[in-house]
Amino acid sequence: MRTLIVLFHETGDPRFLSPIPAALEYLRRSTLPDGSLARFYELKTNRPLYFARSGKVYELTYIVGQRLPAHYAFVVDSRLDAIETEYRRLAKLDPAKLKQPQRPEKAEPAPELAAWTSVARAILNLHETITRL
């Protein structure tokens, strides 16, 4: 949803905002008792899914326990209030008044990269020469 908001903000295209209300509604229904969200939900039942470590393997479980791997966030902050606030603010705006995307100016490479630029050109020229053979 945050990416859709950024895309709308950058383009003014309302199609990027249109799925947000349904997504917010779904995620509010999916909020865990402590206000957080599970990373995964089971299809059809919408029960939160977790993986627990059992030795060297992972087991699918519905229970948040001490065996959750620490290297992956199976439970995340919802941030739904902030997303909804930003959505409502942007939904009221005239898309024509949003900043229009700027085309980046052609930049010169930094001096420390200039040598690599000439190497890259030489490789491209060599590639073109070889493909013509």
**For residue 124, how far is the Cα from the chain centroid?**
34
**Domain residue ranges in the chain:** 2-103
Cα–chain-centroid distance for residue 62? 25
Over residues 80-114, the pLDDT tens digits come to 999 999 999 999 988 877 766 555 666 666 676 76
Considering the entire predicted model, what is its pTM?
0.67
Q: Say whether 76 sits in a helix, a strand or coil.
A: strand
Label residue 16 by pLDDT band (50, 70, 90).
very high
Pairwise CA distance, residues 76 & 95, whole Å: 32
Is residue 16 a contact partner of residue 95, using CB atoms and an 8 Å limit? no
